[in-house]
Amino acid sequence: MVTGSKELIREMNRRLVLETVINDGPLSRAAISKKLGLTKATISAIVQDLLDEQYIEEIGSDQTQYGRKPILLQFCRQNGYIITLDLGVECTVLMVCDLLGQNCRLHQYNCTLERDTAIDFLLQIIQNQIRLLPATPFGVVGIGIGIHGTVCRNEITFTPNYHLADLPIVDVLTDALDIPVWLENEANLSALAEKTFVENHKNLIHVSIHTGVGAGIILDHHLYTGFAGTAGEAGHMIVQPGGRSCPCGNHGCLEQYISEPAVLSRYQELSGRTTVSIDDLVWSYNQKEADALAVVDEFTTYLACGINNLWNLFSPECIILNSQLTAYLPQLLPEILQKLSARFRATCQLKLSTLQDTGVLLGAARVCISKYLGIEKLYFSGFQP
C-alpha cells in the first residue's frame, strides 16, 4: 500500500499513466484504468491534465462491438526534440530525434576533438541544429552525450583515447543553452538502447568492441555502473596471465587480443603487410587466407573467454556483441557459441547488435527522455528510427 501526501500519490499515479501510454499505447482510459488498477475517475482527471499539458493526445476510437467506442490516447512524441552526440575518437556524430527516439536525423563531423576547442565546437554544432528546428511546444528538452571513457556523476573522469577528462562540458553547455545535458559511457548507452529499443530483458550485457572493449551491464532492468562509474571495463579483465602489455599497467588484458587495433596489429604482424584495415582482414578471411583465418580464430577464442567470464559473473539472459568484425562476418556467431559451454547455450542468448553504432545515440536519447519525463521504465516495442 502506498502512503503519503495526496500530491505525492497523484504525481506517482500521473507518471504511471504517462509511462503506460508511452510503453503500451495507444490505449483508452478504460484500458489504462484496468491495467493500473486505478479508478476511472482518477484516470480521467490525470488524462485531462496530460492532455492540457500536451503530453498526450486523442487519436480516434478503438474498435468494439458494443456500446460507445473508447477514445484512444497516445504520447505526443512530436512535441519536442532530443539532441544526442557520440564523441568518437576520429569523428563526432550528432542526432536529432523526437521524444520517443524516432524521426532521427544524423550529422557526422569528421574531426578529432582537441581539448582546447572541444567545448566551443560542440556548442557551435548544437546551436546550428537548434536554429534549424521547427517550433514545438517543448523545444529541445535534453542533450545526451556518449563518451568513450569513464563517466561518474555526470562528469568525465577518464578518456584513454582523447583528452577530455575533467572538461566542464555539462556546465558550459547547460549555461549557454539552458538545456539539461547528460553524459554517459558509450557502452552503457548502447546497452540502454538495446534494452529500450530492441531486447527488453531484465538482465542484459552489451559488449562494445572498437578502439577499446567495454561492457554495458543491465541488471534487474537498471544500468549498473558501479561505485565510480567504472563497472563494465571488460577490456581489462586478464585473459592471458603475463601476456601482452596494456596501457592500464597490467599484462594479458582482453583488450590486447580482441580490440580493433589489437586484431589489426596481429594481422599485420602475421601477414607482413605494412598497413591493414578491417576491410583487408575481412576480404582475406573470406578468401581463406591462412593468416587471416588464424587472426580471426584468435579473436573468437579470446572473445568467447571474455563472454564466458561476464556470463559467470552476472548470469544475464542475453549478451549482445557490437564490433565491425562480427558485423562484417556474422557467420562468426556460431563459431563463438561453439567455444562457449553447453550450459551457456542453454541459459543465455548470444546476439549481434542490430543498432550497431547508432546505439550510442539512441541510448543517449533514452537517458534524456527518462530524465525529462521522470520515468525509469521505457520500452518502445514499435520502434522505427
Per-residue cell: 90:
576520429
Per-residue pLDDT, 64: 60
- Domains of the chain, residue spans: 6-75, 78-191+359-373, 199-355
What integer is the mean pLDDT of 37-50?
A: 93
Mean pLDDT, residues 45-57? 94
| Predicted confidence (pLDDT) per residue in 111-120, tens digit | 889 999 999 9
Looking at domain 199-355, what is its CATH homologous superfamily?
Answer: ATPase, nucleotide binding domain (3.30.420.40)
> Residue 69 above 60 pLDDT?
yes
Q: How confident is residue 385, by pLDDT bands cut at 50, 70 and 90?
A: very low
Sheet holding 213-219, edge to edge: 222-224, 213-219, 204-209, 318-323, 349-352
Answer yes or no: same fold for 6-75 and 199-355: no
Q: For domain 6-75, which CATH number applies: 1.10.1660.10, 3.40.50.300, 1.10.10.10, 3.20.20.70?
A: 1.10.10.10
Residue-wise pLDDT for 122-141, tens only, equals 999 999 999 999 999 999 99
The grid cell for 170 is 555539462
- What is the tens place of the pLDDT at every residue in 269-324? 999 999 999 999 999 999 999 999 999 999 999 999 999 999 999 999 999 999 99
Q: Single out the residue of 20, 17, 23, 15 nearest to residue 379, CA to CA.
A: 23
What pLDDT does residue 364 have?
97
Q: What is the mean pLDDT of residues 198-211?
A: 92
- The CATH architecture annotation of domain 78-191+359-373 reads 2-Layer Sandwich (3.30)
Nearest C-alpha neighbor of 373 from the set 77, 64, 4, 7 = 77
pLDDT at 382 over 60: no
Q: What is the mean pLDDT of the chain?
A: 92
Residue 131, helix vs strand vs coil: helix
Enter the DSSP assignment of 309: H
Minimum mean pLDDT among 62-71, 141-150, 187-196, 243-252: which range? 62-71
Across the range 36-57, mean pLDDT stands at: 93
| The pTM of the whole model exceeds 0.95 | no
